[in-house]
Structure 1
């Protein structure tokens, strides 16, 4: 989660304030670590005291009487500094992991909110679309005037809301996905997936599919989508993946007639009659 200018995304994340609180704690931990003063680690601090003593002896011929005290203090102070520096680094890692885990676990709620917003937008679109009739351009709406022009203006506003919902949808899905899944999400988005479900790609009009792929949304597209009744916001990566598979996998047909049971049959055990090997007692006569 990060700062955004998308009102739909901001409103969606606001439905899970726990995520915002966890993010704030992580940012506070980052600030603490960055503001923590830089100092030398214990080994270097001790080496500096040793170097100073050696230099003093080389110059005066006398070993500093306070060497042990100075060395102990430098090493102890550096140990205290290092302990806090490591703790702050650990704090940053822990709060980051906590914020990400919470964000991932609650992303379903965020995407569910966006799906409800999509439903609201499309319900308003259907109503305005009925008033619009066959009008498909701003010029036609201006020429018609009255309720038609009002409906066009309403749809223009709804189109902006729709774009924000879709941008928020992809932002959240990418945010909670791993690197490999994130790449797939981008490819699926660019192929036009994630807009409708239970509709095969081959059944979507080409000009509508073109809009899905380019995301250059128009009022005509918005009205079509509202009338289709198939629009959705995926609530997870798995939900999106299932929708992609359902819309692209070929339909299987059985052209070979009725199914034949090819499972092995169990046959009764055979019984064999013994061969008659008894010789005829009568003598052989040529």
Structure 2
């Protein structure tokens, strides 16, 4: 079992209480002896009485009372054990626990996020001493503080792997899964480990996140990239981060905004009437002189 996932489950009060009750039920169920059916218990008393009669010739006078008492006791014991067996099946079955994990998925992921933050805090204590060393041979050659840092970080690597595995197990609760599901797309995207993936993200680190193959170098990189490692809250958050990255260079195809404000129409002034000409009179030319005889 994934220890980090168990710890995240235990951090949720409802799930912790479920496991406590499950342990109580299992202990009590083991302590109760198996009980035969009431008819079988009563028949056993009758068989003993018959065997005694055949051996001694004396028939026990209280055989009916003892058979009835055995029957009654078996009825109560059988009822108790049957009810407890039903409760035991409820707590040992997967349905109830699966439902609790789905209902408390956000709390489980938050607990894993705390574990991740604590892990990287521990890793940062050793990364300065490690320097550029990444292999066991290099650490042995360097020795001293470098070797100690390498050993400490190697011990943290399985914890990182468990946190990431637990993360995807928690995100899977309540989701459709399968090769073509949104969950699988998010899991394989590489966008569920760190925030703010960009063109500057090292290709090797991005590939490690896509394939979920975490190395010491990846752990050191996460520790040095302070504040970017995270546990996502949902599949939708991972897919939104991927879509934002894939469309980072796209140009908006939105149409230009049209101005639908009312237009003020100016009414021109009405034209003035022209004077009508007078017909039949011709004005004297201005340049003709009059001759007086």
TM-score of the superposition, structure 2-length normalised? Answer: 0.61
Tell me how far apart the structure 2 counterparts of residues 166 and 190 of structure 1 sit (CA, whole Å).
12
Which residue of 2 is the match for residue 159 of structure 1? 157
- 5 Å-filtered alignment, 1:169-208, equals 169-179=167-177, 183-200=181-198, 202-208=199-205
Whether 2:217 is the aligned partner of 1:220: answer yes
Q: Gaps (5+ residues) in structure 1?
A: 29-87, 255-259
Which residue of 2 is the match for residue 123 of structure 1? 121
Q: How far off its partner does 1:160 sit?
A: 0.6
- Aligned 8 A contact 1:195 1:232 in 2: yes
Judging changes above 3 Å, is the alpha-carbon distance between structure 1 residues 239 and 261 closer, same or farther for their aligned structure 2 residues? Answer: closer
Deviation larger for 133-142 or 179-188 = 179-188
Choose the corresponding residue for 2:276, options 273, 276, 280.
280
Tell me how far apart the structure 1 counterparts of residues 269 and 210 of structure 2 sit (CA, whole Å).
76
Q: How far off its partner does 1:220 sit?
A: 0.7
Which residue of 2 is the match for residue 85 of structure 1? none
Choose the corresponding residue for 2:110, options 94, 109, 112.
112
Q: How far off its partner does 1:167 sit?
A: 0.2
Tell me how far apart the structure 2 counterparts of residues 264 and 283 of structure 1 sit (CA, whole Å).
56
Structure with greater Cα Rg: 2
Q: 1:203 is paired with a residue of what secondary structure? A: coil
- Kindly report the root-mean-square deviation, in angstroms, between the aligned alpha carbons of the 2 structures: 3.6
Number of aligned positions between the proteins: 212
Choose the corresponding residue for 2:12, options 16, 19, 32.
16
- Aligned 8 A contact 1:174 1:182 in 2: no
Q: How far off its partner does 1:270 sit?
A: 1.6
Q: Gaps (5+ residues) in structure 2?
A: 27-85, 283-293
Judging changes above 3 Å, is the alpha-carbon distance between structure 1 residues 160 and 182 closer, same or farther for their aligned structure 2 residues? Answer: farther
- Aligned 8 A contact 1:192 1:212 in 2: yes
Q: Deviations over 1:98-139 (max 9, x none)?
A: 655543231111101101110111111122111101112110
- 5 Å-filtered alignment, 1:46-195, equals 100-179=98-177, 183-195=181-193
Q: Deviations over 1:15-49 (max 9, x none)?
A: 1242365686xx99xxxxxxxxxxxxxxxxxxxxx
- Aligned 8 A contact 1:159 1:222 in 2: yes
Whether 2:206 is the aligned partner of 1:209: answer yes
Q: Deviations over 1:67-102 (max 9, x none)?
A: xxxxxxxxxxxxxxxxxxxxx9xx98xx98765554
Tell me how far apart the structure 1 counterparts of residues 180 and 280 of structure 2 sit (CA, whole Å).
95
Deviation larger for 187-196 or 5-14 = 187-196
Q: 1:241 is paired with a residue of what secondary structure? A: helix
**Is the helix fraction higher in 1 or 2?**
1
- Aligned 8 A contact 1:194 1:234 in 2: yes
Q: How far off its partner does 1:206 sit?
A: 1.2
- Aligned 8 A contact 2:127 2:220 in 1: yes
Large movers: runs of 4+ above 6 Å: 95-98
Q: Deviations over 1:132-151 (max 9, x none)?
A: 01112110001111111111
- Aligned 8 A contact 2:176 2:182 in 1: no
Choose the corresponding residue for 1:247, options 245, 248, 255.
245
Tell me how far apart the structure 2 counterparts of residues 139 and 194 of structure 1 sit (CA, whole Å).
32
